[in-house]
Structure formats: C-alpha cells, structure tokens
C-alpha cells in the first residue's frame, strides 16, 4: 500500500490535517477556557471591589467590624459566590460558607499576598476548607492610604470546567468534521493527481506485455499533462518504430522461409535463437522445440557440434561436409561468428548438396553409359572395316555378310541417336501433344497387339484387365501407346519363359491408374530412384540389350500428360510399373 504514490499523498496530508486540527482544537479549547476564566475573574474582581466599597462606607468603628460576618452571607447570596473578609493581619473576620472562627490565618494565602503586593490577587487552587478547586480573587481595603483588610471572593470551578468540557466537545466535533472534509479533499486531490499516472502505468505495463499502446487524453497543462504528452509522443514513435521493425522482420522471415539453405543462429552458450524452415526439414525438428535448446539437441551430429566448437574457439569461419550413404544425403556446413553485431553469436549455414551430388552422379553415369553404348557398335564397325580392307572385299559372300553386320550396327546407332533426340525434344517441351479422348482399354489392347508376337516367341502370357466402362483419358494416343509399349517391352525382356504379364487400368479418384505387372526377376530397391534415368541399367555390366532410354522416355511422356510414374518390385517375384493419367471431365 505504501508503495503507491496515491497513498504517499493521502497519508501525509491526512496526518498533517489531523495534527493541525488537533493543535487548533487544543489551542481553541485552551483559549476558550482562559477566556471563560478571565471573564469569571473579572466578574469576581468587580464583585470584590463593590463589596469593598460598600464596607468602607458602612464600617466606621470596630463594633461595625463585628457585623462583617453577617454581611458576608448577605453579599454571598447576592452575588452567588463565596465571600471572605480578612483583616490586615490575616485574621478571618467574616465567611459566608464556613465558621470564620475556626479558620486559620489567611495572610500567607497566594491571592492575599498578590493583593498585598500588586493590589489584586487571583489564584486557582484546591481549597482545604471546602475540599474542591476554587477560583479566588482578593482585593485590598484601603483607608487613608493604609490597607485595613482584604475582600476575597471565590467560586468553585466545576461550572467552568463543565463549560470547558462542553466547549471542547463542540470544538472536537467541529474539528472532526473539518478533518473528515480535509481527508476527503486529500483523497480527491490524490485521485485526481494519480489517475493519469495510473493510466500511464497501465499502458506501460501493457507495453511490456507486447500489447498495442493507446493514446491517453489529458487536457490539463500541468506536470502530469506534460508527462502525458511526452508519453503520447513516445507511443507514436514506438508505433512507427514497431511498424518499421515488423516490416524488416517480415522481410527477414520471408527471406529465411524462402531460402533453400538451412540457417541456425546460436548465442554464446550454444542455445539456438533462430532456425529457418529449411533447417527444420533438414534436421527433422520444429522451431517450437529448437528455440532455446542447445545446438547438440537440435543438430544431433558430432560433426556439426565440432564445427560450432571450432568456430567459437578460433573466432573464424569454419566449414565441414557430411555425407550419409544410408540416408542418401550430402550436406555442407559453414559456421561463422557474427562479430560486433552480435558478440559471441554464431551463424551456421547448411547447404543440402544432395541433389547436386546426385546430378553429378547422373551426369557421370550418363557419360559413362553413353560411351559404353557407343563404343561397342563403333568398335564392331571398325573391326568390320579393317576386315574388309584386309582382303574380305575379294570374297563377295564374306563381304556381303560384313556389310550386313555393318548395316545392323549403323541401324542400332541410328535408333539410339533417334531415341536420344526424341528424349531431348520431349524434355525441352518441343514435342506438341495432340490430345484427344481415348478409352484406356483401347490403349492397353493396342500395346498388347503390337508386342503379341514377341510375347509368344518368349513363351509368355499377356492378359488384359480393364473395364470397358472406364472414363476416357485426354492423351496423345501415339505417345501414350509408346509408353505402354516401352513398359510392356521391358516386361517381356526381363520375364523368363512361362511367366505372365498383366496390363490393367482402373479409376482412382480423378485419374486412371495404369499398371504393367510381370513375374520377372524384379528390380533391387536401391535402383527405384534411378531406373527412369536415361541410359541407366540395373545390370552393372550392361550386358542386356537395349539403349536404356525407354523408361526415361516413358517418364517424360507421362509427366507431359500431367501424370506420375513409379515402380514397385520384389526381387525374383516380379515388378509393377504404375502411371496415372487424368480423366476427361464429364466423360
């Protein structure tokens, strides 16, 4: 409670008001008491002087002094006070309320001494005679310049004290009302003063909680008003800066989100403070779990942890590569300190070079494969030419055989070059597709018909599994027949005698799923991702016939029709080649 500025204002003001009111009340009470006492004293003084004047005019001899006691009672009844007549030597000559003969000498009474020395004596004290507080007023009786006695008039102070108590009550009630009004006024003032401060405090707290600040209205031009205006100016500047920061942050987030390279930033203790989506995918984590965790928990590989350690110790850029044949990934990591911008912070950049490495492998294999495919017919042609030159031309039958073989090799080269050019044209989109609605069953039947002789020669059974009610597909008929012929040709080539091949098609959502299934020797799992590459063969020795371009052509033609192609196979149990083609809408 005492930490609040409101109470720091209210409590001092309340204490000041209460002390002031108490002091004023005490002062007024004393003033009123003294005023009443002075009034009573003046009254008694006047009564004493009046009694003294009356005594001086009526008492002329000693016998007259004997009647003083009787007149004392009369005077007391007349003025309503106690009257005592005292001789110059202090002897009591008359007393209105007591037996004067039993009273002791009064010369040493304070009021008598004051009257003797100063001409007037006044004293408040406890009376041993009547046993309560009395106000005494004494005046001297002078005759011919000599003091012949004293007149003392007194009253009990119970009436004065009662009046004083009544006055104090009145003053206390008045002061209490005034104090209450003062306290209420201090509370009101404190509320008025601290209300805008409280609003400023609430807005500042909202600001610390990340909420949007609001403009505070305050019309006065006092110090609080100036503070409010300064706060409003600060709010406007903060809003402007926040908008700028949000714009910059949005740009940074967009850049990081679109980057294909993984980005991780750590602090001096190795805790992750930033990670982008590429790094999340690369290390199979999420930003919610990565932020705040150590680099070891996020990257989870000793090579990257060692890379970070080397960069932290040397303060220089470090790089390393990670290749995992099991996961078929190749990643290059770079760690560099952020310098003065963010001391002790390290930026780690991860480049996934798996695709580039795979492309390099494909390119290398392509060069090797095409070289191998070309070397055999070229070597055969060279040998035949040399044989002819060495004398075979003189033997017409032998020369004809050699020319026949040369023609065969040239035809093989021509076929290979034609397929390669065809594949290149398909990949570059230079082959226009003439799309027409065609029944899936007709496509399968045409492919079966074209290769039926070859299947019979290899002692294979080719069956058709396709409903006539399937919707049509929008395709370039010769091109899609080429896909089916290539797949069926491979199935016939790699299925041993006595096997079977099934050509099927079925509706699956909005596409027709074609399938060429055989009972051949199958394909190893590691070759699934590369079997559709040009010149790729599952036989490392490349002893099988064919150019290795059929499946590559099939893949590009299917993708040109908006479909997908893939393979499922189990070694020694056969393979299934699938591809999808979208159906014709409203067919």
Q: Give CA torsion, residues 515, 516, 521, 526, to 10 deg.
A: -50
Three-state DSSP class for 5?
Answer: helix
Q: Work out the angle between the directed axes of helices 354-389 and 396-427 (0-180°, nearest 10).
A: 160
**Which spans in 431-470 are helix H?**
440-450, 452-457
Q: What is the DSSP string of 352-397?
A: E-HHHHHHHHHHHHHHHHHHHHHHHHHHHHHHHHHHHHTTGGGSHH
- Mean pLDDT across the chain: 79
In this prediction, residue 180 carries a pLDDT of 80
pLDDT over 90 (residue 401):
no
CA-based nearest residue to 463, from 447, 483, 479: 447
State the Cα–Cα distance between residues 332 and 320, nearest whole angstrom.
6
Q: What mean pLDDT is predicted for residues 304-308?
A: 88
The set of residues, in sequence order, having a beta carbon less than 8 Å from that of 510 and lying 6+ positions away, is: 582, 583
Three-state DSSP class for 510?
Answer: coil
Q: What is the DSSP letter of 93?
A: E
**What are the backbone angles phi and psi of residue 180, rounded to the nearest 5°?**
-60, -45
Q: Convert the pLDDT of each residue in 462-519 to its tens digit.
A: 999 998 889 999 998 888 988 898 899 889 988 999 999 999 999 988 899 999 999 9
Q: Which of 18-22, 181-185, 491-495 has the highest mean pLDDT?
A: 491-495
In this prediction, residue 327 carries a pLDDT of 59
Beta bridge partners of 199: none
Beta bridge partners of 516: 503, 577
Beta bridge partners of 95: 84
Cβ proximity of 584 and 473 under 8 Å: yes
State the Cα–Cα distance between residues 515 and 559, nearest whole angstrom.
16
Q: Convert the pLDDT of each residue in 514-542 to its tens digit.
A: 999 999 888 888 777 778 776 666 555 44
For 386, half-sphere exposure in the C-beta direction (CA atoms, 13 angstrom radius) is: 6
Neighbours of 126 (CB within 10 A): 10
In this prediction, residue 437 carries a pLDDT of 92
State the Cα–Cα distance between residues 490 and 576, nearest whole angstrom.
11
Q: Which of 162-176, 181-195, 277-291, 522-536 has the highest mean pLDDT?
A: 277-291
Of the pLDDT bands very low, low, confident and very high (cuts 50, 70, 90), residue 430 is low
In this prediction, residue 505 carries a pLDDT of 94
Percent of the chain predicted with pLDDT > 70:
81
CA-based nearest residue to 518, from 553, 482, 489, 481: 489
Of the pLDDT bands very low, low, confident and very high (cuts 50, 70, 90), residue 587 is low
In this prediction, residue 502 carries a pLDDT of 94
In this prediction, residue 53 carries a pLDDT of 81
In this prediction, residue 541 carries a pLDDT of 42
Cβ proximity of 179 and 21 under 8 Å: yes
In this prediction, residue 133 carries a pLDDT of 78
Cβ proximity of 451 and 493 under 8 Å: no
Q: Convert the pLDDT of each residue in 223-260 to its tens digit.
A: 667 777 777 777 778 778 878 887 887 887 788 778 88
Q: What mean pLDDT is predicted for residues 61-78?
A: 70
Q: Kindly list the distances between the CA atom of residue 101 and the CA atoms of 93, 147, 235, 285, in Å, as whole numbers in the listed order.
A: 8, 22, 97, 121
Please state whether the predicted TM-score (pTM) of the whole model is above 0.75.
no
**Which spans in 391-516 are helix H?**
396-427, 440-450, 452-457, 477-494
Q: What mean pLDDT is predicted for residues 50-79?
A: 72
pLDDT over 50 (residue 582):
yes
In this prediction, residue 500 carries a pLDDT of 93
More confidently predicted of 84 and 532: 84
Q: What mean pLDDT is predicted for residues 129-134?
A: 71
Cβ proximity of 478 and 494 under 8 Å: no
Q: What is the DSSP letter of 540?
A: T
Of the pLDDT bands very low, low, confident and very high (cuts 50, 70, 90), residue 578 is very high
Neighbours of 365 (CB within 10 A): 16
User: Which value, in Å, is the radius of gyration of the alpha carbons in the chain?
Assistant: 63
The set of residues, in sequence order, having a beta carbon less than 8 Å from that of 326 and lying 6+ positions away, is: none
pLDDT over 60 (residue 315):
yes
In this prediction, residue 542 carries a pLDDT of 41
Q: What mean pLDDT is predicted for residues 363-391?
A: 69
The set of residues, in sequence order, having a beta carbon less than 8 Å from that of 480 and lying 6+ positions away, is: 438, 443, 473, 557, 561, 581
CA-based nearest residue to 427, from 557, 298, 297, 241: 557
State the Cα–Cα distance between residues 290 and 27, nearest whole angstrom.
76
In this prediction, residue 365 carries a pLDDT of 62
Three-state DSSP class for 493?
Answer: helix
In this prediction, residue 63 carries a pLDDT of 47
Cβ proximity of 476 and 434 under 8 Å: yes
Q: Convert the pLDDT of each residue in 251-296 to its tens digit.
A: 877 887 788 888 888 988 888 888 888 888 888 888 888 888 888 8
The residue count for the chain: 587
Beta bridge partners of 322: 331
State the Cα–Cα distance between residues 452 and 296, nearest whole angstrom.
61
Of the pLDDT bands very low, low, confident and very high (cuts 50, 70, 90), residue 369 is low
């Amino acid at each position: 409670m005492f930490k609040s500025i409101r109470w720091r204002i209210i409590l001092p003001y309340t204490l000041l008001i209460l002390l002031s009111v108490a002091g004023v009340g005490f002062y007024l009470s004393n003033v009123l008491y003294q005023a009443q006492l002075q009034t009573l004293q003046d009254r008694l003084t006047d009564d004493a002087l009046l009694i003294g004047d009356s005594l001086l005019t009526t008492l002329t001899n000693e016998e007259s002094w004997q009647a003083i006691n009787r007149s004392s009672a009369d005077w007391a009844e007349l003025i309503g006070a106690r009257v005592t007549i005292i001789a110059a030597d202090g002897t009591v000559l008359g007393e209105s309320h007591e037996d004067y003969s039993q009273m002791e000498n009064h010369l040493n009474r304070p009021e008598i001494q004051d009257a003797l020395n100063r001409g007037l004596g006044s004293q408040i004290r406890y009376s041993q005679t009547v046993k309560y507080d009395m106000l005494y007023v004494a005046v001297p009786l002078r005759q011919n310049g000599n003091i012949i006695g004293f007149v003392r008039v007194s009253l009990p102070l119970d009436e004065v004290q009662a009046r004083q108590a009544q006055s104090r009550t009145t003053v206390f009630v008045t002061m209490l009302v005034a104090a209450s009004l003062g306290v209420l006024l201090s509370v009101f003032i404190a509320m008025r003063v601290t209300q805008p401060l409280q609003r400023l405090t609430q807005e500042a707290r909202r600001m610390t909680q990340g909420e949007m600040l609001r403009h505070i209205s305050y019309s006065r031009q006092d110090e609080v008003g100036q503070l409010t205006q300064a706060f409003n100016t600060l709010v406007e500047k903060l809003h402007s800066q926040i908008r700028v920061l949000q714009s910059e942050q949005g740009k940074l987030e967009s850049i990081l989100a679109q980057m294909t390279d993984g980005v991780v930033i750590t602090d001096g203790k190795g805790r992750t403070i930033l990670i982008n989506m590429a790094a999340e995918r690369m290390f199979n984590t999420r930003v919610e779990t990565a932020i705040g965790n150590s680099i070891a928990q996020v990257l989870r590989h000793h090579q990257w942890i060692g890379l970070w350690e080397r960069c932290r110790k040397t303060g220089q850029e470090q790089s390393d590569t990670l290749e995992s044949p099991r996961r078929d990934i190749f990643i290059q990591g770079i760690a560099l300190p952020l310098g003065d911008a963010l001391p002790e912070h390290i930026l780690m950049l991860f480049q996934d070079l798996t695709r580039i490495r795979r492309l390099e492998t494909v390119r290398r294999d392509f060069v090797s494969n095409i070289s191998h495919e070309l070397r055999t017919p070229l070597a055969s042609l060279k040998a035949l030419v040399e044989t002819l030159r060495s004398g075979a031309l003189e033997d017409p039958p032998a020369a004809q055989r050699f020319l026949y073989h040369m023609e065969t090799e040239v035809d093989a080269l021509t076929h290979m070059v034609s397929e390669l050019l065809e594949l290149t044209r398909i990949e570059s989109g230079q082959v226009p597709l003439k799309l027409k609605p065609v029944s899936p069953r007709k496509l399968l039947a045409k492919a079966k018909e074209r290769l039926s002789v070859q299947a019979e020669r290899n002692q294979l059974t080719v069956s058709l599994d396709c409903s006539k009610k399937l919707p049509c597909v929008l395709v370039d008929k010769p091109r899609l027949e080429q896909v089916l012929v290539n797949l069926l040709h491979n199935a016939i080539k790699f299925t041993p005698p006595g096997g079977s091949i099934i050509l099927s098609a079925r509706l699956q959502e909005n596409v027709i799923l074609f399938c060429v299934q055989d009972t051949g020797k199958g394909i190893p799992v590691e070759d699934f991702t590369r079997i559709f590459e040009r010149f790729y063969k599952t036989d490392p020795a490349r002893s099988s016939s064919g150019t290795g371009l059929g499946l590559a052509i099939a893949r590009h033609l299917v993708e040109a029709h908006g479909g997908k192609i893939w393979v499922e196979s189990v070694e020694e149990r056969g393979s299934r080649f699938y591809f999808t083609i979208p159906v014709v809408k409203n067919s």
